[in-house]
Structure 1
Amino acid sequence: MSRPTGNIRLKSARVAAGYNSQQALADALTEAAKGLGIRGLAIGVRQVRRWESANPPWPQPDCQRVLTHMLGQDMESLGFTPPWEATTESPDRVRRNLITTTVAAVGLAAVPTQTALAVQPASVAADFTAVTRSHRRLYWSVAPATLYPSAAAHASLGCALLPETAGQTRKLIAAALSETWLLVGRIEFFDLREPDRASDTLLRALQAAGEADDPLLGAAVLAHTAFIPGWEGRRDDALERMVAARTYARRGQASAEFEAWLDAVEAECETRCGNSRTALNLIRHGEDTIAAGSHHPNPEWMDWFGPARLAAFKGNTQLKAGHVPQARATLLAVLDELSPGDAEQATVVLGDLAAAEAAAGNPGESCQYAIRALDQLAMTWYATGMDRVREVRKALAPWQHEPCVRELDDRLYSWSTTVSALAR
């Protein structure tokens, strides 16, 4: 069996970084040079072929900078022999030794660098992303509190893998890590009602999106962070984050539904801050945006929004604006359109319908919708849905001695419901 020849170290690092051909690496190096501020550097496939030969020439300084940046290893680790004598240490190696000695002398823990760790193969990106994709689907059927530890542990794995990858592999890992942190943050905010923890988690998601250089993921994370001040009535903070989210969305060529979702998020924040008219205008703009369409596709990970979800936002805003008949009609239409997999959203819509009937002076119908929401919550817990039911019960105070309201209280304060609410 013949042994492979040439610069195997560089070839292995290239493949591990996700560049399966010499041409792919050459193109990536040329593009990366622009990002590093190196003008006029064009690397062709012939140059890469020479570097992967049995006796590779020592690259020029600008090429060295781009190679080490893209592949995450120093020149010697990439199979290049420096032109100076073997007995003389290179300036970079002397500097590294000096830093290591100084850190050890003052008793600080050295931060592991990319070159000090094993380089993962390119296949690690597909493997890690596959688990992220599975968590995305499981969210719609598994109880969020059950899924939460697994998703958080997967994010920890991604943080450990990221320093061990480079190039395209590193970007793919970072994108999947950002999505995982986003899922964890959504569970913390919407399902577990822990906004402070969600704020920290979403910051990690934004950092990972930056590592992946994925502006759409960045826009999605920023829009989710707007919910936190928005629900607390801090309008200026929420709108500032929405401006940032829309800026990133423009860079990422957002789809029509993605842009409409941004309108819906901002409308939710405006509604929570008492600006229902502004919110309705935003939702109307979102409806027009979806109707106009776009040639940009939805990102694969955006599975939480569609026309029915936009209508649900609309129904809630109409309700808060006092447009009860319109809200009822909108919410009933949404309830008919929801799929079996939209259990969480169903609890919110049922809660809003209960609130609409209470506002219309129909306690019996209101209690029926609230009990249906509780039935769904018994199967799929959703803190936001429970909040809606509690708000309805407050609105039913004028009828609290009616049999229908007492029946709702029996359900709302049953052993299982009370324990579940306090435990979460």
Structure 2
Amino acid sequence: MQRRTFLAGAAAAGLTAKSSAAYASSAPASTLPDPAAYVATTARLRSRYWIEEPGRLLPVVAEHARHGARLLAERPEGAHCSAIAETALLASRIAFFDLSLRGLYVRRWQDLALEAANRGRDGSLAAAVLGHMAFAPAWTGRGAEARDTLAAARERTTSGDAGPTLRAWLDAIAAEAEVRLGTPDAAFPLLDRAADTFAPPDTPGSWTADGPPAWLDWFSAARLEGFRGAAEVAAGRSAEARATLERTLAGLPAHSHKQRAMTLAELAATAAGAREPQDACRLLEEALDLVGVQGYATAVDRVRTVRASLAPWSRETFVRDVDDRLRAGGG
């Protein structure tokens, strides 16, 4: 990942998030985006998330979110509201997961996404936004807030239009919340329920005959395995975790750089726990190779955590090589 690009994206994100509300209220009506074009652009940006360097993509998505805030003031139709919600949610995802921005930078986009989803009466998208709102408190030890937010997300899935993929994802992230909050044993009943709920591709049973909506592209059977593997690592079930994470890698597409990097870092944690430091460092280097292809701050954070567990071997060359990679910016 190019450090300069990373910083440029972060700076642009901050400026755009901070000014969106004022921009929406002050822009002349003649500059409003065309609603149909807005929806088409949203679809293009969705696909770019998986292939483009996040520092370059965030300013583009953030600007589109600003246009959405202006369009929302004109009370557009439901489909247009959903596109605005999806765009703002995407901006928040890039900021939080890819660039490790926190606080108001992310929350402003999430608030816009929730407002747009509610305006369009899109309960499933509102549930997805609330699910993402639970990450920040879960990652910072605010357990009651995280669990309450996830409960609110689940309430939005009771109207009948939310398919099993979304409900399974909510259970999976609830399981991750328990891991982050230091209660990994509480994650496994949630993961079992997610596995029972999740519909495989041949019988999607979701919103349409083709499965979940296009915006729900961050969850799959392999990723559900990844959640379980991370919980098993946290619970000290190293042998089970290794097998689960190997299945995760086998199920992820080759171009899924972000999730593959996370999975490799979790596998490194199992090697570190087994006192196999050289193997752990090899896996950490593979994870950083993928981060170098497409930046992902969440994976770098996990690499750093696993590296810290290798302190007894800090003088070994293979550990120092990982340190050099991390000092160089993670790529």
**Shorter-chain TM-score range:** 0.7 to 0.9
Q: How far apart are the structure 2 equivalents of 1:367 and 1:201?
A: 37
SS of 1:208's partner is: helix
Matched AA of 1:248: R
Counterpart check, 1:300 vs 2:240: no
Structure 2 unmatched ranges of 5 or more: 1-23
Counterpart check, 1:283 vs 2:197: no
* TM-fit CA distance, 1:402: 2.1
* TM-fit CA distance, 1:291: 5.5
* TM-fit CA distance, 1:299: 1.9
**1:133 maps to what in 2?**
43
Q: How far apart are the structure 2 equivalents of 1:120 and 1:180?
A: 16
Q: How far apart are the structure 1 equivalents of 2:98 and 2:30?
A: 38
Q: 1:369 aligns with which of 273, 279, 283?
A: 283
Q: How far apart are the structure 2 equivalents of 1:375 and 1:266?
A: 29
Q: How far apart are the structure 2 equivalents of 1:112 and 1:395?
A: 50
Alpha-carbon spacing, 1:119–1:405, altered in 2? closer, same or farther (3 Å): closer
Equivalent pair of 2:128/2:153 in contact (CA under 8 Å): yes
Equivalent pair of 1:128/1:176 in contact (CA under 8 Å): yes
* TM-fit CA distance, 1:182: 0.2
Percent identical pairs in the alignment equals 39
* TM-fit CA distance, 1:300: 1.9
Q: How far apart are the structure 2 equivalents of 1:173 and 1:188?
A: 23
**1:411 maps to what in 2?**
325
**2:20 maps to what in 1?**
none
* TM-fit CA distance, 1:208: 0.9
Residues paired across the two proteins, number? 301
**1:224 maps to what in 2?**
132
* TM-fit CA distance, 1:117: 5.2
Structure 1 unmatched ranges of 5 or more: 1-110
SS of 1:251's partner is: coil
SS of 2:134's partner is: helix
Tell me whether 388-397 or 154-163 shows the greater mean CA deviation: 154-163
**1:265 maps to what in 2?**
173
Q: 1:172 aligns with which of 73, 79, 87?
A: 79
Q: How far apart are the structure 1 equivalents of 2:197 and 2:79?
A: 30
Give the alignment of 1:43-54 within 5 angstroms: none
Matched AA of 1:410: D
* TM-fit CA distance, 1:119: 11
**2:157 maps to what in 1?**
249
Matched AA of 2:55: A
**1:387 maps to what in 2?**
301
SS of 1:301's partner is: coil
**1:151 maps to what in 2?**
61
* TM-fit CA distance, 1:377: 1.1
Counterpart check, 1:189 vs 2:103: no
Matched AA of 1:409: D
Equivalent pair of 2:25/2:70 in contact (CA under 8 Å): no
Q: How far apart are the structure 1 equivalents of 2:182 and 2:143?
A: 10
Deviation string, structure 1 residues 306-363 (Cα, Å, up to 9, x no partner): 1111100100000000000000110011111110231111110011011110001101
Deviation string, structure 1 residues 151-189 (Cα, Å, up to 9, x no partner): 11111112222334x5xx532221111000000011111
SS of 2:262's partner is: helix
Matched AA of 1:199: R
Equivalent pair of 1:214/1:252 in contact (CA under 8 Å): no
SS of 2:205's partner is: coil
Tell me whether 193-202 or 278-287 shows the greater mean CA deviation: 193-202
Equivalent pair of 2:32/2:70 in contact (CA under 8 Å): no
Counterpart check, 1:198 vs 2:106: yes
Flag the structure with larger Rg. Answer: 1
Give the alignment of 1:341-352 within 5 angstroms: 341-352=255-266
Alpha-carbon spacing, 1:112–1:220, altered in 2? closer, same or farther (3 Å): closer
Matched AA of 2:40: A
* TM-fit CA distance, 1:120: 7.8
Matched AA of 1:188: A
Equivalent pair of 2:165/2:199 in contact (CA under 8 Å): no
Tell me whether 404-413 or 290-299 shows the greater mean CA deviation: 290-299
SS of 2:152's partner is: helix
Q: How far apart are the structure 2 equivalents of 1:120 and 1:182?
A: 20
Q: How far apart are the structure 2 equivalents of 1:291 and 1:180?
A: 26
**1:233 maps to what in 2?**
141
Tell me whether 169-178 or 207-216 shows the greater mean CA deviation: 169-178
Matched AA of 1:222: L
* TM-fit CA distance, 1:263: 0.4
Q: How far apart are the structure 2 equivalents of 1:180 and 1:191?
A: 16
Q: How far apart are the structure 2 equivalents of 1:218 and 1:286?
A: 19
* TM-fit CA distance, 1:192: 1.4
**1:354 maps to what in 2?**
268
Q: How far apart are the structure 2 equivalents of 1:371 and 1:214?
A: 42
TM score, norm. by length of structure 1: 0.67
Equivalent pair of 1:280/1:317 in contact (CA under 8 Å): yes
Q: How far apart are the structure 2 equivalents of 1:411 and 1:156?
A: 36
* TM-fit CA distance, 1:252: 5.0
